[in-house]
C-alpha cells in the first residue's frame, strides 16, 4: 500500500511538472521570441481589436513574434518618432499620417521597402490604389510605407431638406454655378425673424480643393515655389469665401460658434456638407437621428479635384527587427484588417480588391452611394509633398483667415501667404 502511494505521488508530480513546462513553453520553431514595438494613434476599441487580431491570427502564423502597441496622440506622433529615433528607442513599426509621411521620409526615419516588396512573392503592391501609393507611400522614387486606408472628400446632403423643397438630389453633373443656385434656395429664414436658421452649404474644410478645381495649385510643379499669388488660386479662394460673406449660403463663424458646422449639419440646419467617408462610420451614426442623407461628388469647377489623404504603415529605420517588422506591416495592411475597418467604421481600404468588394460598397449603413468615394480617388490630390508641408499649411491657413471672415480680399491674403510660404521653402532648400 505504501509503495502504491509513493508511485501515485510520483506520477502526479510528473503530470504537474509536464503541465507547468507546457504552460511556459515557447512557441514552436526558433526558440527566440522577437518583441516588436508598434506606435499608433488609435482609440481603446481599436487597440482591443489589434490585440484580438494578433492572438487569433498573427501569432498563429508568426509564433516567434509578439507585438507591444503604444498609442500616441495624432498631433504628437511625428515628434514621437523624431525623439525616439534620436534617443535610440525607435519603434519597429508605426502608423504614419499622410500629413507627416513626407517629413518622415525626408528625415530618413523610414526604411526603404522596395527590397522587401521585390523579394516577397506574397505581396502585391499593384493591389493598392496608385494615388495612395504615390501620395503617402512613395518618396523620391522609393516606397517607404504601405498605405493602410484612403480618406477622400465628397459632399453629403440632407435628403429630407431636398425633398421638402422639391429639389433634385446632387449628382455628377453639378458645377460651381449649380451648387450656388441650389444653396441659395436652401438658405432660409425658417421662423421669419429676419435671420437665417438654415443654410445651403458649408465650404470644404480643405480650401486647397477649390484652387485645384479652378486649375490652380499651392506650389509649382517641382515644389520649389508657392503660387497662391496667381489668379487661378486667389479667384478660387474668393469664390469659396463669397459663399459665406457675399451670398450668405453658408453659416458665418459667429453662426457656428457654439456648436460648429459639422454639428449644424447633423442636427438638420445645413443642406450640404463636405467631409470624408469616415464621417459616415464614426460621426453620423451617433449624431444624425432626424433625417436621411446620402453623398454626391464634389461639384466641379474648371476640372474635378478633391483632397485625398489617409494613413500608412512603415518600418522605422532605427528599429532592430526589420524582417519581423515587414511581416507586421503586411498584416496591418492585409485584406482582413482593411475589411474590418471598412465594415466597422466605413474607412476606405487602400486595397482595390477590398474597397471595390462587398466589404465596403455594399454595406447596409448609409450613405447608399458609397461608390462616389471610390470614383473620386483617381482625381484625388494630396497636400503639397514637401518636407515643410505641415508648417506651410499652418502658415497659409492662418494668413487666409481674414478672407474667410470677409475682412480682406482673397487676393491680398494669398499674396501675403505666398510670400511667407516661399520664405519657408527657401529656408528648407538651403
- Residue 253 pLDDT: 85
pTM: 0.89
Mean pLDDT of 113-122: 97
pLDDT at 175: 98
Measured in degrees and rounded to the nearest 5, phi and psi for residue 312 equal -140, 170
Domains 34-151+309-355 and 154-305+387-429 share a fold: yes
- Neighbouring CB atoms inside 10 A of 287's CB total 13
Averaged pLDDT for residues 344-373: 93
According to the model, what pLDDT value does residue 428 have?
76
Assess whether pLDDT exceeds 50 at residue 330. yes
Q: Torsion over CA of 15, 20, 23 and 27, rounded to 10 degrees?
A: -90
Q: What is the DSSP string of 225-253?
A: SB-TTSHHHHHHHHHHHHHHHTS--S--T
When pLDDT is averaged across residues 389-398 and rounded to a whole number, the result is 95
Indicate the CATH number for domain 34-151+309-355: 3.40.190.10
Task: Give the per-residue pLDDT at 358.
Answer: 84
Which pLDDT belongs to residue 169? Answer: 98
Q: Give the pLDDT confidence score for residue 429 in this predicted structure.
A: 72
Query: Which pLDDT value is given to residue 163?
Result: 98
**The pLDDT value given to residue 254:** 87
161-180 b/e (C-beta count within 10 Å ≥ 16 → b): bbeeeebeebeeebebeebb
Which pLDDT score is estimated for 83?
A: 94
Boundaries of every domain in the chain: 34-151+309-355, 154-305+387-429
| CATH number of the structural domain 154-305+387-429 | 3.40.190.10
Task: Indicate left, alpha or beta for 166 from its phi (over 0: left) and psi (-120 to 50: alpha).
Answer: left
Q: What angle do CA 205, 210, 212 make, to 5 degrees?
A: 120
- Peptide bond preceding 280 in cis form (omega within 30 of 0): no
Q: What is the pLDDT of residue 31?
A: 58
pLDDT in tens, 53-101: 999 999 999 999 999 999 999 999 999 999 999 988 999 999 999 999 9
**pLDDT score of 276 more than 60:** yes
What's the confidence (pLDDT) of residue 258? 77
Q: What is the mean pLDDT of the chain?
A: 91
Q: What CA–CA distance (Å, rounded) separates 72 from 261?
A: 27
The cell numbers describing 217, all together, are: 495649385
Task: List 147's β-bridge partners, or say none.
Answer: 312
% of the chain surpassing 90 pLDDT: 85
The single residue listed with the C-alpha cell 449644424 is 264
Contact 376, 297 (CB under 8 A): yes
3-59 pLDDT tens trace: 333 333 333 343 333 333 333 334 444 558 999 999 999 999 999 999 999 999 999
Amino acid at each position: 500500500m505504501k509503495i502504491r502511494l509513493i508511485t501515485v505521488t510520483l506520477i502526479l508530480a510528473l503530470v504537474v511538472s509536464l503541465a507547468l513546462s507546457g504552460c511556459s513553453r515557447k512557441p514552436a520553431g526558433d526558440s527566440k521570441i522577437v518583441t516588436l514595438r508598434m506606435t499608433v494613434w488609435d482609440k481603446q476599441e481599436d487597440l482591443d481589436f489589434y490585440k484580438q487580431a494578433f492572438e487569433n491570427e498573427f501569432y498563429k502564423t508568426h509564433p516567434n513574434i509578439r507585438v507591444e502597441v503604444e498609442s500616441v496622440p495624432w498631433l504628437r506622433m511625428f515628434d514621437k518618432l523624431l525623439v525616439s529615433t534620436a534617443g535610440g528607442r525607435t519603434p519597429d513599426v508605426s502608423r504614419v499620417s499622410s500629413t507627416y509621411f513626407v517629413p518622415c521620409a525626408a528625415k530618413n526615419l523610414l526604411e526603404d521597402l522596395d527590397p522587401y516588396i521585390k523579394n516577397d512573392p506574397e505581396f502585391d503592391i499593384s493591389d493598392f490604389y496608385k494615388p495612395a501609393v504615390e501620395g503617402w507611400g512613395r518618396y523620391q522614387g522609393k516606397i517607404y510605407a504601405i498605405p493602410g486606408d484612403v480618406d477622400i472628400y465628397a459632399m453629403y446632403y440632407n435628403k429630407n431638406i431636398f425633398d421638402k423643397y422639391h429639389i433634385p438630389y446632387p449628382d455628377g453633373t453639378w458645377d460651381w454655378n449649380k451648387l450656388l443656385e441650389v444653396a441659395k434656395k436652401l438658405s432660409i429664414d425658417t421662423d421669419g425673424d429676419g435671420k437665417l436658421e438654415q443654410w445651403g452649404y458649408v465650404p470644404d474644410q480643405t480650401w486647397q480643393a477649390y484652387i485645384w478645381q479652378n486649375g490652380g495649385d499651392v506650389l509649382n510643379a517641382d515644389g520649389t515655389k508657392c503660387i497662391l499669388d496667381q489668379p487661378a488660386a486667389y479667384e478660387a479662394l474668393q469664390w469659396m469665401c463669397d459663399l459665406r460673406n457675399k451670398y450668405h449660403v453658408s453659416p458665418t463663424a459667429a453662426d457656428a460658434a457654439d456648436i460648429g458646422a459639422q454639428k449644424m449639419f447633423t442636427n438638420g440646419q445645413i443642406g450640404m456638407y463636405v467631409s470624408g467617408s469616415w464621417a459616415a462610420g464614426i460621426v453620423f451614426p451617433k449624431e444624425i437621428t432626424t433625417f436621411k442623407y446620402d453623398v454626391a461628388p464634389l461639384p466641379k469647377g474648371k476640372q474635378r479635384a478633391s483632397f485625398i489623404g489617409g494613413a500608412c504603415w512603415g518600418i522605422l529605420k532605427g528599429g532592430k527587427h526589420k524582417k519581423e517588422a515587414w511581416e507586421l506591416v503586411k498584416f496591418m495592411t492585409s485584406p482582413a484588417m482593411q475589411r474590418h475597418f471598412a465594415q466597422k467604421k466605413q474607412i476606405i481600404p487602400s486595397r482595390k480588391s477590398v474597397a471595390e468588394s462587398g466589404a465596403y460598397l455594399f454595406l447596409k449603413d448609409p450613405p447608399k452611394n458609397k461608390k462616389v468615394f471610390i470614383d473620386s480617388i483617381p482625381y484625388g490630390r494630396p497636400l503639397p509633398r514637401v518636407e515643410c508641408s505641415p508648417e506651410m499649411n499652418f502658415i497659409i491657413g492662418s494668413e487666409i483667415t481674414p478672407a474667410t471672415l470677409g475682412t480682406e480680399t482673397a487676393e491680398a491674403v494669398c499674396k501675403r501667404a505666398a510670400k511667407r510660404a516661399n520664405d519657408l521653402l527657401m529656408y528648407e532648400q538651403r
